[in-house]
Amino acid sequence: MLFGVLAGAAVVLVMNLLLLGLVEAAGAELQTRDVGDAFEKAGEVAIYAGERLRAAATGEELPEPPTIQADQTAIALGLATTLALNVVLVGVVAAVTRQRTGELASRLGLRGFDPLGLWRPMLAVVGCYAMVVGYAAIVDALDIGVLQPESTVPFEVMREQLTVVLTGVAVVAVAPLAEEVFYRGLLFGGLQRWGFWPAALISGVVFSGVHLDPGSLIPFFIIGVVLAWLFWRRGNLWESVAFHVIFNAVSFSLLLATEA
């Protein structure tokens, strides 16, 4: 199991290095977020205008304009790399457990799907969304900006149809299954010999940490524990996958509606 986690970390590192190479080869800039808010953008433009006027007056070479908006090529490459990463993570689990895809699916309870059990993950999604909203309200009231949860999917993906489609496929279709197989199937499953709570807490910490958002650490940790419970309760990964799909689909739909 430890080897599997290390292999997964190595895959993430290699994929990030690959992304850097692809971005450079495409002549893009690795900027997947806009520069700050409207005031920061205006400040960047004002600085550039001043430098350009000064260069024109002194006969110097004109400066390059600042990159204010996210590079759509870099975003598309990043999303494509994320899709590939999720596929490779499932391969890592299969390699570590030394099982074929069919055998792994049977072990994780992915052979049969009971639609009548969907009420559990749906109810859990409602509860977790209420938790996130409550957590955000408390953090906002305490004025702890660094802990304010933000969407891990940048709104900048909404600017082009290709990145919208890639985001939808990655967030709603591919990531839920791949991440559940890795974080719940391999990590939580491998730690269960220590008991439910140690396994759920450790896998929740790892799941939360990989999202690289300080504001999401606490809520995503709680969500990770809930996902572990859904898997542990019936020994069937479908319910945690269903939770992940529904949660991500709602989040993606809200992003679409907000940026439409």
Does residue 154 come out as left (phi exceeding 0), alpha (psi in the -120 to 50 range) or beta? beta
Q: What is the 3-state secondary structure (H, E, C) of 16-46?
A: HHHHHHHHHHCCCCCCCCCCCCHHHHHHHHH
pLDDT at 260 over 80: no
Q: In 108-237, where does DSSP find H-type helix? A: 119-141, 161-168, 175-179, 189-191, 196-209, 217-234
Amino acid at 3: F
Q: How far apart are CA 92 and CA 94, in angstroms?
A: 5
Counting every residue, how long is the chain? Answer: 260
Interval 160-182 mean pLDDT: 94
Q: Are 205 and 221 in contact (CB under 8 A)?
A: yes
Burial class (CB in 10 A: 0-12, 13-18, 19+), 88: middle
Amino acid at 249: A
- Residues 42-53: pLDDT tens digits? 787 788 778 888
Token duo for residue 52:
């350009």
Q: How far apart are CA 240 and CA 230, in angstroms?
A: 6
Mean pLDDT of the chain: 87
Q: Are 28 and 77 in contact (CB under 8 A)?
A: yes
Match 């993570």 to its residue by tokens. 89
Which value, in Å, is the radius of gyration of the alpha carbons in the chain? 21
Q: At what angle do helices 119-141 and 238-259 cross, to 10 degrees?
A: 50
Q: For the whole model, what pTM was predicted?
A: 0.87
pLDDT category at 41 given cuts 50, 70, 90 is confident
More confident position, 206 or 17: 206
Token duo for residue 132:
């996130």
Q: Are 79 and 166 in contact (CB under 8 A)?
A: yes
More confident position, 29 or 122: 122
- Residues 66-119: pLDDT tens digits? 878 888 888 899 999 999 999 998 888 888 888 887 788 888 888 777 888 899
pLDDT category at 15 given cuts 50, 70, 90 is confident
State residue 242's pLDDT score. Answer: 95
Token duo for residue 115:
């639609």
